[in-house]
Amino acid sequence: MEIDPSLLEDDKEMLEDLVAAAFNDAARRIEETQKEKMASVSSGMQLPPGFKMPF
């Protein structure tokens, strides 16, 4: 990723916050997708109560 240096002149903190928010949103979406995929894969398995995948 490359950020144009002229963007840092105005409001560096806001740009940092926007990048952090975008990263956190992407991480949350990845986690949700992983949970959905694991749920579909493990739906036919008879797992003991409280057992969570992945280990």
Average pLDDT, the chain: 83
CA–CA dist 14, 19 (Å, integer)? 9
pLDDT one-digit tens code per residue, 1-55:
788 888 778 888 888 899 999 999 999 999 999 988 887 877 777 777 777 666 5
Contacts 24+ apart (CB under 8 A), 30-34: none
Query: What are the start-end ranges of the E strands in 1-55?
Result: none
Res 51: pLDDT: 72
- Sole residue written with tokens 């992407």: 26
Side chain identity, residue 32: E
